[in-house]
Structure 1
Amino acid sequence: MPGGRLSHQDRLDIATGLTEGRGYAEIARDLDRPTSTISREVARNGGAHGYRADHAHYATVSRARRRKPAADDARADAAGADDQQPSGADRRRREYVERFAAMMVDGGLPRMVSRVLALLYTADSASLTAADLVRELRVSPASISKAIGYLEHVGMVHREPDPHRRLQHYVIAEEVWLKAWQVSARTNLNWAETATEGADLLGRDTPAGERLTQMADFFHRLGEDMSGGPAFEVIDDAFTLLAALLHAARPLTADQLATALGWPSARITDALANATKYAEYCDPVVLDQLDDTYRAIPNPARLTPAQLRALR
């Protein structure tokens, strides 16, 4: 009530207002308090740039203990404890937010980024301000700014201006997890391109080149799988080539394939390369090269040695 003792929540609201750059009078109106109450509270506890709600509250309780008898001290302590303790529902929600964030950390996201995203995702409101995030996560504005910058960069969060005040509201982007998936797919393809560049630079026949080539192949397949696989026209020519070899039932040279299919040599070369590169998409048939000829055979990895012996 007006003129009564400031509660812990009042002090949290004061800290939020100061973080948002609001004046003492505006904060006082929101709390239904005299402006002088707010100005004295801030001046006593570090000033506008050094005010900390928890510190201010504990300092006030400590001063009250020194001034009042023991009975009054006990009542003040109980009131302070009530202000500081969240409700059971709030406590469970905060615990869930931390578990949610921990899961994202295990998935590779930075810890503060994960905590901000988890809080945005579980908030009752459609958006949160920087001050909301500072208050809920109990961290510095700089930490929030850095985490928001990361989330904006990858397209998972965007900001919307407040229509009434000079504030920015942070909102989770639509299809946020699809965007995260796309970012991860692009990252894998970047790994593949960098590894390919290194293999070409060091020589693919060197030990380092072999390792980098294997790395490039792995991340290229992974990135394309996450992006939906290779383009249809790329893999379709490989399917057609394998079908031709199966129908011929004998090894053929690249020139023979070009003549039979009516394709230019470059298209045959690309189809042969893609049949090898995307072997997992052609399974259970694979391309086998014998000198300068090619044939389509069943993927031997599909069958165990005992199965192969039984079939022979």
Structure 2
Amino acid sequence: MPGGRLTQHDRRRIATGLAEGLGYGEIARGLGRPTSTVTREIARNGGPSGYQAERAQRATAQRSRRSRTAPAPRPTTRAPAAVTVAVDRDPAAIGEFADRLAELLVHVGMPRMVARVLGCLYVTDEGSLTSGDLVRRLQVSPAAVSKAIGYLEGQALVRRERDDRQRRERYVIDGDIWYRALLASAERNAMLAGITRHGAELLGPATPAGTRMDDASALLERIGQDIVRSVRQWYEERGPVPS
């Protein structure tokens, strides 16, 4: 059913669509699903060249069983204070690097406060800080930190982890942060490809405006597929692909 979980029949139709050379947007429209759902499904299960319906169905069932039987998380024992810097590191240089990283992220389109929070988290060994840690390090208000964290959570770049000993939340980035960022980029490309393909159909593929839209759709869809394929290949070569 549209909006629910993908069924085995859906997955077979995805595999058939890929074999026929259909784009993600076309496959999604045939299923009555968002293009992002199809993009994520293919990315998690072998990419466009390695996707197999039966294997994807088994992997989804295994993930579902693990989530139902996973033990309750243990209270974290991490110290609430900022991460201790090793003696051979220069704290000032690390802070400068975090600022440079944030400025680059701003340059490529990320909101400034979001970029500063992400840069601050990224240079910590644990990859986690509390709201208070971020407020002190960045010299900003708790509201500014909260808004930035909300943005990062929406992009699946940061998650919350409860520190029961300190009765507070920690904000955590994982080692697959760039995988998730690139996958989000591929999903955005897929959505743009879908709307421009619809525009081409609306305007008429034989018209100059329709041709322009059709070309944009094909390019965006190809770039999105290439991103997913390259990232999957990278992780397959160096270790397990994040789920």
Q: TM-score, normalised by structure 1?
A: 0.43
Letter in 2 for 1:136: R
Using the TM superposition, give the Cα deviation of residue 126 of structure 1 relative to its aligned residue in structure 2, in angstroms: 4.1
Using the TM superposition, give the Cα deviation of residue 124 of structure 1 relative to its aligned residue in structure 2, in angstroms: 4.4
8 Å CA contact 2:127–2:174 kept in 1: the answer is no
Q: Provide the secondary structure at the position in 2 that maps to 1:152.
A: helix
Letter in 2 for 1:117: L
Letter in 2 for 1:141: P
State the match for 2:192 in structure 1.
191
Using the TM superposition, give the Cα deviation of residue 152 of structure 1 relative to its aligned residue in structure 2, in angstroms: 1.1
Note the residue ranges of structure 2 that are not aligned, 5 or more in a row.
Answer: 1-88, 231-243
Using the TM superposition, give the Cα deviation of residue 135 of structure 1 relative to its aligned residue in structure 2, in angstroms: 1.1
The higher-RCO structure (CA 8 Å, 6+ apart) is 2
Once residues 151 and 126 of structure 1 are traced to their aligned partners in structure 2, the CA distance between those partners, rounded to angstroms, is: 14
Q: Provide the secondary structure at the position in 2 that maps to 1:159.
A: strand
Q: Provide the secondary structure at the position in 1 that maps to 2:170.
A: strand
8 Å CA contact 1:199–1:213 kept in 2: the answer is yes
Once residues 116 and 146 of structure 1 are traced to their aligned partners in structure 2, the CA distance between those partners, rounded to angstroms, is: 10
State the match for 1:217 in structure 2.
218
Q: TM-score, normalised by structure 2?
A: 0.55
Once residues 106 and 142 of structure 2 are traced to their aligned partners in structure 1, the CA distance between those partners, rounded to angstroms, is: 21
Letter in 2 for 1:207: P
Using the TM superposition, give the Cα deviation of residue 204 of structure 1 relative to its aligned residue in structure 2, in angstroms: 1.7
Using the TM superposition, give the Cα deviation of residue 125 of structure 1 relative to its aligned residue in structure 2, in angstroms: 4.2
State the match for 1:277 in structure 2.
none
State the match for 1:122 in structure 2.
123
8 Å CA contact 1:159–1:169 kept in 2: the answer is yes
Larger radius of gyration: 1
8 Å CA contact 1:185–1:224 kept in 2: the answer is yes
Once residues 127 and 197 of structure 2 are traced to their aligned partners in structure 1, the CA distance between those partners, rounded to angstroms, is: 44
- Count of aligned pairs between the two proteins: 142
Once residues 213 and 221 of structure 2 are traced to their aligned partners in structure 1, the CA distance between those partners, rounded to angstroms, is: 12
8 Å CA contact 1:155–1:173 kept in 2: the answer is no
Once residues 111 and 160 of structure 2 are traced to their aligned partners in structure 1, the CA distance between those partners, rounded to angstroms, is: 20
Once residues 115 and 191 of structure 1 are traced to their aligned partners in structure 2, the CA distance between those partners, rounded to angstroms, is: 28
State the match for 2:155 in structure 1.
154
Q: What is the 5 A alignment of 1:12-161?
A: 89-161=90-162
Identity %: 44
Q: Provide the secondary structure at the position in 2 that maps to 1:156.
A: coil
